[in-house]
């Protein structure tokens, strides 16, 4: 994957910035949508532009897997990192509580497309580039991969 030409941070700096900005000081998750236009984050990665796309951020989360600290930046990775290393997440908080935190905040405010992408990431472990597909096509893909009953059950949760 080509490194974004407007980002002047090293890959390690970029990964650490992603990890640190995805969880705020009080231990709450920050969405890719908010992160992509956060001026402080953009300054931290030495970005020479106005905002990043959510897809670009998702690609970096996966492509920087072999950069220290090693691992794909996903919910479990962020939970473990911020619970054990930065201590932003209290020791009493379980992964389920941390995970549901995002789902509860997003309920009713997320577009179908955002919900579908979140399902693909969380339940299939993929960071798809669906930018050229209509929402109905994405939905059909998820139903094929998860099964209709499982998809409907998950959709009620998000």
**Which pLDDT tens digit goes with each residue over 125-134?**
887 777 788 8
Return the structure tokens found at 158.
Answer: 């998000």
Is residue 95 in a domain?
A: no
**27, 93 contact by CB (below 8 A):** yes
Same domain? 125 vs 78: no
* Helix residue spans in 4-89 (DSSP H): 11-22, 32-35, 39-44, 54-63, 75-84
Same domain? 84 vs 129: no
Is residue 5 predicted with pLDDT exceeding 80?
no
Residues sharing a CB contact under 8 Å with residue 149, sequence separation 6 or more, in sequence order: none
Residues sharing a CB contact under 8 Å with residue 138, sequence separation 6 or more, in sequence order: 113, 116, 117, 120, 130
Angle at alpha carbon of residue 24, lines to 23 and 26, rounded to 5°: 115
Range of the domain at 33: 1-90
Same domain? 4 vs 76: yes
Report which of residues 1 and 157 the model is more confident about: 157
> Which range, 94-98, 109-113, 117-121, 138-142, is most confident?
138-142
Per-residue model confidence as pLDDT tens digits over 38-83: 899 999 999 988 878 888 898 899 899 999 999 999 989 999 999 9
Is residue 18 predicted with pLDDT exceeding 90?
yes
**120, 139 contact by CB (below 8 A):** no
Same domain? 15 vs 79: yes
**69, 55 contact by CB (below 8 A):** no
End-of-domain residue from the set 57, 90, 123:
90
Return the structure tokens found at 57.
Answer: 């951020």
Is residue 136 in a domain?
A: yes
Same domain? 111 vs 77: no
Angle at alpha carbon of residue 9, lines to 99 and 58, rounded to 5°: 35
How many domains are contained in the chain? Answer: 2
Helix-, strand-, coil-residue percentages of the chain, each rounded to 5 = 55, 5, 40
Between CA 11 and CA 1 the distance in angstroms is: 12
């Amino acid at each position: 994957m080509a490194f974004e030409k407007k980002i002047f941070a090293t890959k390690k700096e970029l990964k650490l910035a992603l990890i640190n900005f995805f969880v705020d000081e009080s231990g709450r998750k920050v969405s890719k949508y908010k992160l992509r236009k956060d001026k402080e984050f953009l300054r931290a990665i030495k970005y020479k532009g106005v905002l990043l796309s959510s897809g670009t951020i998702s690609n970096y989360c996966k492509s920087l897997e072999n950069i220290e600290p090693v691992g794909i930046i996903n919910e479990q990775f962020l939970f473990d990192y911020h619970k054990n290393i930065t201590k932003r997440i209290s020791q009493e908080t379980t992964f389920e509580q941390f995970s549901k935190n995002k789902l509860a905040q997003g309920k009713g405010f997320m577009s179908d497309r955002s919900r579908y992408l979140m399902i693909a990431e969380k339940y299939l472990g993929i960071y798809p580039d669906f930018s050229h597909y209509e929402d109905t096509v994405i939905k059909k893909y998820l139903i094929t991969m998860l099964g209709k009953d499982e998809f409907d059950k998950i959709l009620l949760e998000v």
